[in-house]
Amino acid sequence: MSISADSTTHESVAAAQPVPEPTPEEAAQLEQLYKDFDAENLIPLWTEIADLMPMVPSPKAVPHVWRWNDLYPLAARAGDLVPVGRGGERRAIALANPGLGNTPYATPTLWAAIQYLGAHETAPEHRHSQNAFRFVVEGEGVWTVVNGDPVAMRRGDFLLTPGWNFHGHHNDTDQPMAWIDGLDIPFVHYADAGFFEFGTERVTDEATPDISRSERLWAHPGLRPLSGLQDTVNSPISAYRWEHTDAALREQLLLEDEGHPATVSQGHAAVRYSNPTTGGDVMPTIRAEFHRLRAGASTESLREVGSSVWQVFEGTGTAVLNGESKVLEKGDLFVVPSWAEWFLQAETEFDLFRFSDAPIFERLNFNRTYIEGRNK
């Protein structure tokens, strides 16, 4: 069968092959059989197959949009009322997908939140199994300290906190700052693989350097220190700076103007943040990308196994999610569940950050993509 959705279901196949009704004696025996299954904590496949093995993915998560202009004021109110400190640790407000019940998950594998740190506040250090990152849509003045290395957080920066790295944040200014956090919390929770450990009450280094030590060692294009030839599971670069991301996207579009192959599709430039020791993803469970569409450009319509969360960095445009159009502007976040159909249309130049669970599904060989008009 094709990987696109069609009308075939388990029920329709069963209906085409009717079986005789059981006799009264057989019906009584079947009833007793199911009671005996229950008594032994057994469930037969034939009663569950439609849910356990759907013809195509049937996610409980739904496409949804969170508006930055709604999120930020709520985070600011929390900043006035909820302290940052031991126990709660972070003033982070999770995006809860309406299709997943009352769970703080954007998708079954991804956690996303807006985190808010007030003037001169410090979020104390801790570490956990879960992989994490920060992406800054506006503001500056906060340093995240990862394993003792202070890393400046500024607009457009993508910052890593891989699993089991001690980390805390401190705001060195008179102004609050907010950003988004992304983690693999749902996946780790489902797998019962989580560990957590408290660190220092503040941060181990309250310095405020412009450039972190990890960047000084690793963030030089095409150059790898001979002191770091061993491949690492996570990228050793703590911060991927906006000026480099912006320049890479700009040059792709300029090359396209000059007639050279450089973009994903007409008017669509994109980059993937990568681990310089392997060339692969920055962390084993999370992929991160940045996309830029020219005004008037659009992406192809596609479906993918695995889910993603997007944030608009700049510009205005539309995300069409399972046929429903959502107009987006700076800061807005939206989620694309597994196998949901989606594409983007740019009104102005449209910049978007994206993170996904693609590395998990690729390693398990469950990854699949259906592009409208190309696949059958």
Listed range (195-204, 247-256, 353-362) with the worst mean pLDDT = 195-204
- Indicate if the pLDDT at residue 157 is higher than 90: yes
DSSP class of 294: -
pLDDT of amino acid 88? 77
**Weakest mean pLDDT among 34-38, 96-100, 371-375:** 371-375
Q: What is the pLDDT of residue 66?
A: 98
The mean of the pLDDT values for the chain is 95
- Provide the percentage of residues in the chain whose pLDDT is more than 90: 89
Q: Is the pLDDT of residue 376 over 60?
A: no
**How many Å apart are CA 149 and CA 159, to the nearest integer?**
12
Q: What is the pLDDT of residue 15?
A: 77
The average pLDDT across 255-279 equals 97
**In this predicted model, what pLDDT tens digit does every residue of 139-149 receive, in sequence order?**
999 999 999 99
Quote the pLDDT of residue 375.
67
At 85, the pLDDT band (50, 70, 90 cuts) reads confident
Quick one: 39 exposed, middle or buried, by C-beta within 10 A (0-12, 13-18, 19+)?
exposed
Let me know: does 344 contact 373? Beta carbons within 8 Å. Answer: no
Tell me if residue 249 falls in helix, strand or coil: helix
pLDDT digit string, tens, across residues 117-142: 999 999 999 999 999 999 999 999 99
CB atoms within 10 A of CB 327: 12
The mean pLDDT value for 209-214 works out to 97
Cα torsion through 34, 39, 45, 51, rounded to 10: 100
Cα–Cα distance measured from residue 248 to residue 233, given in angstroms and rounded to the nearest whole number = 25
On the question of pLDDT at 215 being above 80, the answer is yes
Q: For 185-206, what is the mean pLDDT?
A: 95
How sure is the predictor about 265, in pLDDT bands with cuts at 50, 70 and 90?
very high
Q: For residue 20, what is the DSSP state?
A: P
pLDDT at 1 over 70: no
42 vs 374 pLDDT, higher one: 42
Q: In whole angstroms, what is the distance from residue 20 CA to residue 89 CA? A: 62
Q: Is the pLDDT of residue 80 over 50?
A: yes
Query: What average pLDDT does the segment 19-36 reach?
Result: 93
